[in-house]
Structure 1
Amino acid sequence: MAIDEESAYRAVRSRDRRFDGMFYTGVRTTGIYCRPSCSARTPHRRNVGFYASAAAAQRAGFRACKLCRPDATPGSAEWNVRADLAGRASRLICDGVLDRDGVAGLARRLGYSERQVSRAVVSELGAPPLALARAQRAQTARILLETSSLPASDVAFAAGFASVRQFNDTIREVFDATPTGLRAHRQGRAANAPAAGLLDLRLPYRVPMTLATTLAFLARRAIPGVEDFDGTTYTRTVPLPHGPGLIAVTERSAACCADGQRPGGTPHVHVRLRLTDHRDLAAAVARTRRLLDLDADPVAVDEVLRSDPRVRPLALAFPGLRSPGAVDGFEMAVRAVVGQQVSVAAARTVLGRIAADHGSPAFDGEPGWLSFPHPSVLAEADPARLPMPVARGRTIVSLAARMAGGELVLDAGADRDAARAALLELRGIGPWTAEYLQMRATGDPDVFLASDLGVRHALTALGGEPAESASAFAPWRSYLTHQLWASLPAPPGAARRTYSSPTARSAKDIR
C-alpha cells in the first residue's frame, strides 16, 4: 500500500486520530512504532519511517509503544473497500483463517497459489501472511492476559502459539514486556472484572459514530432466540470455528464524551464475550467489528455524502452512520430470502420459527440461546414444511445446499462479484437479494439498492432521486443506502420497544 509520507508526517505532527490503524510510524532513534495520534514528542522527519501494518513495523525491528498501544487501533478502512487479492487475504487473516488452516488453507480459500498470495500481501501490507498472523496472535494474547484469569500457558495456546517459548519470545519482542508484566495492567480493573468465562473488550473505532442508530437497525431485525435487545444492550449468538459464542454490545459505552472519546483514551465500544473456546477470540472480535462496521472511515464517507445538497441533511443528522455487516453469511442469506416482499416484523416471526425448529441450543444444558441452523441442516429440510411459500422454501434449501457444499461463499474473504453472480444463478434470488447480500454478507461498502422500496420512499421525501447507480457517491453507496433507511419514520413505539426472545431472561447472564 503506497503511503504519501509527507501527508503521513503532517498527520503525525497534528496527532490526527483519524489515521490510527491506517498506517504506523516507526521511530529509528528509539526502535518504537506508534499510532499517528501518539501523544509523545513528535520525532524529527528524518528519524521516521511509515508502515502499512503493525506486522510490517514489527518485521522492521520496531516494538510497540507502551504509551499509545498501536496494536489496539481500528483496522484500516482501505481493506473494507478493496476487493482484490490482498484485501480479501487481509480480512481472512483477521478472521483467523491462517492460524486454523495455514498458508495453504488461506491460498485455497482465495483460489490462488501460496506464492501469489504471499507476493500480493507483502506488496500491499509490507509483511508476509505469517507475520500478519503473528502480530494478531500477539494482540490476542495481550487481550487474554489483561481481561481473563487464564494461566499464561493456556493463553499461549488459546492465542495460537505453537509453544510457550514462542509465546514468551513474541511478547518480549513485540511489547518489550513479559506476560506477567502485561497481566499487571489488569489489577486496576479487578473490581470490575467480568464473571468467570466472560471477557470484557474495548473495540476501538473512528469518530464520529451513531451507534444507537446501528443498534436500532439490528434490533428491529433481531431473530427471537438468536438475538436480543433490551433498549441499551444488543446481544446475540455467534457461530465460531470451535463452538458458538455470545456477544453483548452496550450502547452507552460509546458516548463517554460528546465525540465518543474518553479523556486521554481511544473511542471504543464496550463488548462482553462468552466463548466456548478461547482460540476463537480473534474470530469473534473480527466478526463483531464487521457486524458494527468499526473499521470504517466516517470522515471520508460523510465528506462524499455531504457533497449532495439533498443528502447533506441526513449525513448531518446521522454523523458516522455505519453499514452493518454480518457474523454469518448463511444466516444473512436466509434473512434476505425470507424478507422478500414481507414486512420486517413478519420476517422476524418466520426466522424465529426456523431457528426454533431447525437450530440448536448454543450452550449445552442451558435454555435460552439458539444457534442459527447450519446450512447442512436446512439443505435436508422439506421445503413444504418451512413456514413460507413452497417456492421460497425451495430457494432456501437450494441456497443451503450450495453453501454446505462450498460452491457459494458469503464472508469477508469472498470474491464479491463472483458471489453475486452465483446468487443470481439460484432460482428465486433476484438483483435486490444478491446486492443486499453483497452489501451485508461480504461487506461491500459500495452497493446502492436502487430498487428497494424504502430507499425509493426516502428519495421521494428528499424531493427527487439520483441516477440509478448513484455513481457520484462511490465508493460509499452502501452508506447512502443506510442513510436513506435511517431517514424513514420509525415504526410506532420503536423507540421504546425491546426485541426479545421468549427466553431472553438468560441475556442478563452476559451483562
Structure 2
Amino acid sequence: MRDSLVATRGPALAGIGRRPSASDPRRSCSWLHGTLYGVIEDEVAFAAMESRDPRFDGWFYVAVTTTGIYCRPSCPAVMPKPQNVRLFPTAAAAQVNGFRACRRCRPDAAPGSPEWNTRTDLIGRAMRLIADGVVDREGVAGLAARLGYSQRQVHRRLVAEVGAGPQALARTQRAQTARMLLEAGPLPVSEVAFAAGFASIRQFNDTIRQVYATTPSGLRGAGKGTHLPGVTTVRLAYRPPMDVPAMLAYLGARAVPGIEHHDDGVYSRSLSLPHGAGVVTLRPGAGHLVCEMRLEDLRDLAAAVQRCRRLLDLDADQQAIDAFLGADPGLGPVVAARPGLRLPGCADPGELAIRAVLSRRTRAATARGRLADLVRTYGRPLATPFGEITHLFPDMSVLAEVASAGRVQRELARALAGETLRLDAGCDPYRVREQLLAIPGMSRWAISCIRMRVLGDPDVLMPGLPVRRAVHRLAAHPDRWRPWRSYAMRHLTLMPPTCGGRET
C-alpha cells in the first residue's frame, strides 16, 4: 500500500525518485539515509519550501541549524540556505536533535502526516496508538504488547524510521496538549501539567522551555483561544481543500438521538474516553474547524482531539486524492463538482461496528431508530447532559447480553468486550478482517463498512447492487480508482439513488 500511496500523491511529488546532481547545493542539506526516510526526495522538499506549499505541512519538518528552530515547510520566514537545513519526518525527531518549535508558524499545530493514517505496518500502527495516548496510559510496555513486539524492537524501528523513540514521541504529544490547554483558558499551571500527562511540574516546565523556548505563562500569553467555563476550545487544522459543511451534514444526517445532534451546520456528539465521558461540538472556522470540548477529565484532551481528527479525516492529502480520482474519465466530472469531499471515520469503533451490523438491509431511518432505542435503554447517562446529548453509546459488555439483539450483534459485541477482537488505532487490519469473517452471519457489506470507516482503509469498494448501478452509470472501471476507492464511494453516494437508504 505504501508504494501505491507514494505513487499517487499528486503533481507536487512528481520529482520522487530523482536525485539532484552532485553540483546541486541542495545535496549539502543534512539527511538521514539520503532521503527523508524514503518518503520525499530532497529536491521535492525544497520545492515545497520555496513555494510555501501548505499541503506538505505535517509530511516533514524543516530545522535550521543557525537558529536552532524547526518550522513547517510553509513557514513564511526567509528561506534558509540549503547547507543550514535539516529535515525531519516528525516534530519529535527535530526536538530530540535539539531544535525548538517556531513561534511564528507553530509546526506542532500542523495537520498530521497522512502516511500514519494509511500505513498498516508496525510504524503506522505505533504512531496512531502513541497519538491516542497509549504510552501515557500504559507505558512503552503497553504499547509493545498491543503491537505484538518487544519494547526494544518497537523503539529500534521507530528511531530508524521516524527519528525518535516512543517516549520522545509521547513527550512531544504531551507538550502539544499542554500548549492547547494553556491557550484554551486560565487553568492553573499545575492542572495543565498533570492533565497533559506530565509526571511533575518540574518536568513540565523543562519540556515547555525546551520545545517552545518560553515559560508556560509566556505560552499562555501568546494564545488566541477563547474560554467558557468547563469548555476547552481548540482549532483542528487540515490541508485544503475540504468540504467542511458536507462532512458535518453527512454526520448530522446519520445522527443517533441521545448521542449525536446536528443543527445549523454544527455537529455535536458524546465520547467515551479513557478517563471519563466527554461531549465535542464541531463547527466550521476560517481554514480550520473549531472544536469545543466538555470533558469530565482533562487528561482525555489528546485522545478526544485524535478521535475528532479521525472522525473528520483531517489528516488526508485531499488535493492529491482529488487529482488522482479526477483524472478518471468516468469519475472525474463527479469529483470536480465536489472538491474536498472526505471520508468520514468514526469516534467510537464499537459503536460504528454495531451500526454497520444493524444497517444491513435496513433503511437509514429504521436503523437510527433501533440505535436510539439501544442508547435510551442501555446507554450510560451523562453526568452533565449537553442539550440533546444525554447518553454515551452502550458498552459492548452490556450489548453482548441483550436478549433482543440479533445473533451477529451479540457475537460482535462479545468479541469486542472480551478484546478477542480489537478495533483500536493499532489493530492489524488484515487480522481484523479475518476475525470479522469468522463471525457467523457477518455480511460482506458490514465488513466493508467497518474497514472503510473504523480502520480508515482508503481502498474499499462497497459490495452490492447500488454501487454496481452507479459504476455502470458512469461507465467507469473501479480498479482504476485504486488506492482511493473508499473516497470514490463517497462521491457515488451523492449520485442518488445509489446506496439504497442504508448507512455507509
Give me the whole-angstrom Cα distance separating, in 2, the residues matched to 1:161 and 1:328. 26
Equivalent residue for 1:321? 341
Per-residue CA distance 1:376-409 (angstroms, 9 max, x = gap): 1111211xx24xxxxxx11111111111111001
Per-residue CA distance 1:260-303 (angstroms, 9 max, x = gap): xxxxxxx3111111111000000000000000000000111112
Q: Name the SS of the counterpart of 2:339 in structure 1.
A: coil
Matches within 5 A, 1:359-438: 359-363=379-383, 368-382=389-403, 385-386=404-405, 393-438=406-451
Give me the whole-angstrom Cα distance separating, in 1, the residues matched to 2:364 and 2:268. 19
Q: CA deviation at 1:472?
A: 2.2
Give me the whole-angstrom Cα distance separating, in 2, the residues matched to 1:473 and 1:456. 14
Give me the whole-angstrom Cα distance separating, in 2, the residues matched to 1:273 and 1:453. 40
Matches within 5 A, 1:300-319: 300-319=320-339
Deviates more, 1:108-117 or 1:79-88: 108-117
Give me the whole-angstrom Cα distance separating, in 2, the residues matched to 1:15 and 1:173. 26
1:280 aligns with 2:300: yes
* TM-score normalised according to structure 1 size: 0.88
Q: CA deviation at 1:13?
A: 1.1
Give me the whole-angstrom Cα distance separating, in 1, the residues matched to 2:169 and 2:277. 25
1:24 aligns with 2:55: no
Matches within 5 A, 1:471-482: 471-482=479-490
Matching residue within 43, 48, 59 for 2:96? 59
Give me the whole-angstrom Cα distance separating, in 2, the residues matched to 1:122 and 1:285. 25
The answer as to whether partners of 1:207 and 1:320 remain within 8 angstroms in 2 is yes
Give me the whole-angstrom Cα distance separating, in 2, the residues matched to 1:363 and 1:222. 21
Distance 1:365 1:315, change over 3 A: closer
Matches within 5 A, 1:240-279: 240-251=273-284, 253=285, 256=286, 267-279=287-299
Q: CA deviation at 1:365?
A: 7.5
Distance 1:439 1:354, change over 3 A: same
Per-residue CA distance 1:215-255 (angstroms, 9 max, x = gap): 1221121111010001310000011001111111113x2xx
Matching residue within 234, 249, 253 for 1:216? 249
Give me the whole-angstrom Cα distance separating, in 1, the residues matched to 2:359 and 2:394. 17
Give me the whole-angstrom Cα distance separating, in 1, the residues matched to 2:141 and 2:61. 28
Give me the whole-angstrom Cα distance separating, in 1, the residues matched to 2:240 and 2:385. 41
Q: Name the SS of the counterpart of 1:138 in structure 2.
A: helix
Matching residue within 127, 141, 145 for 1:90? 127
Give me the whole-angstrom Cα distance separating, in 2, the residues matched to 1:248 and 1:458. 34
Matching residue within 165, 175, 182 for 1:128? 165
Gaps of 5+ in 1: 257-266, 387-392, 492-511
Matches within 5 A, 1:455-494: 455-462=467-474, 464-466=475-477, 470-488=478-496
Q: CA deviation at 1:75?
A: 0.2
Q: CA deviation at 1:457?
A: 3.5
1:351 aligns with 2:381: no
* TM-score normalised according to structure 2 size: 0.89
Distance 1:490 1:429, change over 3 A: closer
1:199 aligns with 2:212: no
Question: Percent of aligned pairs with the same residue?
Answer: 51
Give me the whole-angstrom Cα distance separating, in 1, the residues matched to 2:53 and 2:302. 27
Equivalent residue for 2:6? none
Matches within 5 A, 1:132-147: 132-147=169-184
Deviates more, 1:162-171 or 1:117-126: 117-126
Q: CA deviation at 1:366?
A: 7.5
Equivalent residue for 1:234? 267
Equivalent residue for 1:294? 314
Equivalent residue for 2:356? 336
Q: CA deviation at 1:443?
A: 1.2
The answer as to whether partners of 2:321 and 2:484 remain within 8 angstroms in 1 is yes
The answer as to whether partners of 1:412 and 1:443 remain within 8 angstroms in 2 is no
Equivalent residue for 1:261? none
Q: Name the SS of the counterpart of 2:293 in structure 1.
A: strand
Equivalent residue for 2:26? none
The one-letter amino acid paired with 1:31 is: G
The one-letter amino acid paired with 1:204 is: A
The answer as to whether partners of 1:86 and 1:121 remain within 8 angstroms in 2 is yes
Q: Name the SS of the counterpart of 1:71 in structure 2.
A: helix
Deviates more, 1:328-337 or 1:408-417: 408-417
The one-letter amino acid paired with 1:195 is: L
Give me the whole-angstrom Cα distance separating, in 1, the residues matched to 2:187 and 2:466. 48
Equivalent residue for 1:80? 117
The answer as to whether partners of 1:362 and 1:369 remain within 8 angstroms in 2 is yes
Q: Name the SS of the counterpart of 2:159 in structure 1.
A: helix
Give me the whole-angstrom Cα distance separating, in 1, the residues matched to 2:443 and 2:476. 22
Q: Name the SS of the counterpart of 2:488 in structure 1.
A: helix
The answer as to whether partners of 2:331 and 2:476 remain within 8 angstroms in 1 is no
Q: CA deviation at 1:489?
A: 5.7
Matching residue within 448, 464, 467 for 1:452? 464
Equivalent residue for 1:504? none
